[in-house]
Structures are given as structure tokens and as C-alpha cells.
Amino acid sequence: MTTATSPGLTRYARLSIVVAVATILLKSGAYWLTGSVGLLSDAVESLVNLAGGIMALWMLTVAARPADESHPFGHTKAEYFSSGIEGTLIVLAAASIAWAAIQRLFAPQALQDVGAGLLVSALASLLNLGAALVILRAGKRHASITLEANGKHLLTDVWTSAGVIAAVALVPLTGWLWLDSLIAIGVAANIVLTGVGIVWRSISGLMDQAISPADRAKLGAVLAKHASSEVTFHAVWTRQAGARSFVSLHVLVPGAWTVERGHELLERIEAEVRAALPSSHVTTHLEAREGAAVSQDEKPERGAPTS
């Protein structure tokens, strides 16, 4: 079985931290040049990127630890804490952005050196875009919710930065000073949606949510391959823990089968499930069909074949 969370994933968290520091400096410079509250909101979000990157590095390091006596199923759930905290930080950052924007809305100020400020901000956005694409690909490839959350956050930052740049560019052209504050409020609202989505996904993982419908279909295909008039299944349960999935099931066979024959069948099923669901932990239980019954707490998971 492959390792669920590779220690090598921490290099992507380090990339996020380096890029966050660079964009904080660049966006703070853009705010200093222009005095734009919209660009200030962009810089504040980069502070959250930095906090999220540090948290991701910490949790990925914990998640990569091997199973031990106190944690026999490993430490992969640590990733949910990282994404949950990052989502919460995103929402808090949005609140601070909205507060600053509302204050400026009632006391608008003229912007300075808009061209230079926007050029610096655009450079920071390009750095974020490159890092976001790299981290998102790594997150999907390694099924890491921490990297996916971090990558989505960076990508959200890119789109909001694009909106900020466009709006701030319009301020000197139109003379609408309130537009700077309005776009900052819009950025805050968009950030809230991203943060709530990340937190919700983390809560679902901590609640031992079943594996995805796509993965359940793969599991069902494996079990259907072995199901026959002699072989059936029940008590099929799954759960997702970070990058690692857990599958348990009961396999019912004729009582006349030898232990060796039943064991060989279980070995084949476990191997095929692990092949279909990489980084999965599979537990099987052999039962005789005669007299076997599905108890109330052994109802099969929806979508999993029982015969």
C-alpha cells in the first residue's frame, strides 16, 4: 500500500509560504504607492495566504507521520485541521477588509501613482497564479485536501486581485472615488464564500464522510466482479481521512468452502480494491452464507453491491 501523505508534499507548502511573503511585500508596496483601500484588501489577503501556508506545512508534516501505537490508523486527518483553520482565517480576513472599506466609503480619498501601484500588484498576482496552479495540480494528484485548499485560496486571490486592479484603474478615469471601497467590499464577500466552502469540507472530513461517489463506483465495480450465486457482500462501509480512505466489508461464502479458499478470495478482493483506490486501507471479514443476517448496524452503504 502506498503512503497516504508523502513527506515530499511539504515542499508545496514551502512554495506557498515563499510566494506569500513576496506578494505581501509587493502588494503592500502597491498600497503605499496609491493609498487604495482596494489594494490594501489584496495585501491583507496575502497575510492570510502566509498563515495558511505555515499551517499547511505544519499539518502536512504531521499527516506524513507513520502509524504508531497511539494512532494505529495514521495521522492523515491532520489535514482537515489545516484546511479548516485556513478557511476560518479567510473569513476573518474578509471581515477586516470589509471594515476598512466601509470606513473609506464614507471618507473617500484620491489615489496616487495608480499606474505604478497597479503594475506592482499585477506582478504579485502573476506570482500567485503560478504557485496556485502548481499547488492545485499537486493537491489533486496526491488527494491532499490541505494542498487543494491552499491552491484554491491562492487562485481566489488571483481573481480578486484582477478585479481590484480593474476597479482601481477605473477610479482616476471616472473620478468615482467610492469605486475603490466598493470593489474592496466585493472582494471581502467573495473571500467569505471561499472560506465557508473550505471550512465545510473540513467539517465533513472530520465527521468521517464516506468516500466520493466516483470512488464508491470504483469499489462497487470491484465487488460486482466477484459477486455470484455463491459470493455476496454486506456491511460495506467506507470513510475518507485526508488522502487516505478506509474500506471494510463482510464477504459471505458457502459454509462448505475451505478456509484456504475463502482466504484466497479475500486476498484478491483486497488487492483489487487497493488497486482501484490507491492509499486505501481495506478490512474484510469472511462469513458463511448459511444463517448469516445483516444486523441493523451492518446495513450496506448506498451504491455498494450486496450480491
Instruction: Tell whether 198 and 151 lie within a shared domain.
Output: yes
Instruction: Tell whether 249 and 266 lie within a shared domain.
Output: yes
Instruction: Tell whether 20 and 167 lie within a shared domain.
Output: yes
Is 116 inside any structural domain?
A: yes
Instruction: Tell whether 62 and 150 lie within a shared domain.
Output: yes
Burial of 175 (0-12, 13-18, 19+ CB in 10 A): exposed
Is 133 inside any structural domain?
A: yes
Report phi then psi at 276, rounded to 5: -75, -35
Is 307 inside any structural domain?
A: no
CATH of the domain at 57: 1.20.1510.10
Amino acid letter for position 305: P
Instruction: Tell whether 165 and 65 lie within a shared domain.
Output: yes
Instruction: Tell whether 179 and 223 lie within a shared domain.
Output: no
Long-range CB contact pairs, 169-176, < 8 A, 24+: 169/114, 169/118, 171/36, 171/111, 171/114, 172/111, 172/114
Instruction: Tell whether 196 and 247 lie within a shared domain.
Output: no
- Show which of 147, 182, 206 is a domain's final residue: 206
Report pLDDT for 222: 94
Instruction: Tell whether 183 and 94 lie within a shared domain.
Output: yes
**Residue 162: which H helix or E strand, with range?**
helix 145-174
Is 164 inside any structural domain?
A: yes
Amino acid letter for position 209: Q
Looking up cell 446495513 gives 299
CATH of the domain at 285: 3.30.70.1350
Longest Cα separation, the chain: 87
Instruction: Tell whether 109 and 247 lie within a shared domain.
Output: no
| Euclidean distance between CA atoms 103 and 242, whole angstroms | 41
Instruction: Tell whether 198 and 227 lie within a shared domain.
Output: no
Report phi then psi at 143, rounded to 5: 55, 45
| Euclidean distance between CA atoms 257 and 110, whole angstroms | 85
Is 279 inside any structural domain?
A: yes
Instruction: Tell whether 85 and 108 lie within a shared domain.
Output: yes
Report pLDDT for 284: 93
Report pLDDT for 7: 55
CA distances from 118 to 88, 125, 153 (A): 29, 10, 21
Report pLDDT for 150: 76
- Show which of 151, 177, 206 is a domain's final residue: 206
Report pLDDT for 271: 94
- Show which of 158, 183, 206 is a domain's final residue: 206
- Exposure string for 178-206, b = 16+ CB within 10 A, e = fewer: ebbbebbbbbbeebbebbeebbebbeebe
Is 1 inside any structural domain?
A: no
List Cβ neighbours of 285 (8 Å cut-off, separation of 6 or more): 235, 248, 249, 250, 251
Report pLDDT for 224: 93
Mean pLDDT by 10 residues, the chain (307 residues): 54 86 88 78 74 75 71 67 71 74 71 79 89 88 76 79 78 75 75 75 70 88 92 88 81 92 94 89 89 51 47
Residue-number span of the structural domain to which 281 is assigned: 213-298
